[in-house]
Amino acid sequence: MALRRTGEVRGIADLCRKLYAREGLRGFYRGYIPNLMGILPYAGIDLTVYETLKNHYQVRQANQAKFSRNKVNFGPKKSDCLNHFEKKK
């Protein structure tokens, strides 16, 4: 990071004018390629990890749903008890 003295530029518009006067339009894109070279590997790894974890989660959810459908129900449900007591009133 390049440090500047305080008061060297008066704002973003002044900075843009000085940059354009000194380096032209190309100065605004300086460092663009090296920045992309750093971002692309990060984005690739991030997307790969996200997709892998998402697939593991979906498989796990599917297995849990399959297990819960095959689960044996022991005893009455809460709603059965409530319906029984409401009918007696």
Q: How large is the average pLDDT for residues 22-51?
A: 94
In the chain, the largest separation of any two C-alpha atoms, in whole Å, equals 90
pLDDT at residue 53, rounded to an integer: 96
List the Cα angle 49/51/56 in 5-degree steps.
95
Work out the angle at residue 58's Cα, subtended by the Cα atoms of residues 55 and 61, and round it to the nearest 5 degrees: 150
For the question of whether the overall pTM of this predicted structure is more than 0.85, the answer is no
24-37: per-residue pLDDT in tens?
999 999 999 999 99
52 in Cβ contact with 46 (< 8 Å): no
Task: Indicate the residue type of 19.
Answer: L
Give the residue, 2 or 84, on which the prediction is more confident: 2
